[in-house]
Amino acid sequence: MRTNINDERLQDRYYELKRILDERRLEIIGEVQSKMRAVRDEDAVISRQSVRDEAETCELDIQDDIEFALLQMKAETLEKISEALARLEQGHYGHCYECGTEISERRLRALPFAVRCRDCEEAREIARQRERILDGHNSPASMFTDMHG
């Protein structure tokens, strides 16, 4: 009898997590499609303009670079969501890679492709910061500043 309650709870969690992932995926796809339409419309307007000066060209290039970077980030997020959906189907989604505990639904709502619980992610970030500090102290430039600073 108890396993039925557990199975029902797991099933509810599965559908809730799937809904969260699907909503986020559709939201990002909508954003990307909207941005692509905006870029096409903008390109049509720009092509109708006669001559641009160097500053305008530089500003448009910077805007294009930013737009491309944002689209690239959204594509990476979509990939992470696809991976999370695959983990969900395999029964691995929503559990921390490090400690195996269930990742809180609140965390998954905020970051639907999270692979670690908050505690393990914080520990990982602290370790990475320490590593960067140690790497910085071992570089030749830091040795020079240590000797003279």
60 to each of 12, 36, 48, 63, 67, how far by Cα in Å?
A: 48, 16, 15, 5, 10
pTM above 0.75, yes or no: no
Q: Which residue has the higher pLDDT, 10 or 74?
A: 74
User: Is the pLDDT score of 4 beyond 60?
Assistant: no
Instruction: Check residue 141 and give its pLDDT.
Output: 52
**Residue 2, pLDDT score:** 38
Tell me the average pLDDT across 62-79.
87
Q: What is the pLDDT of residue 45?
A: 64
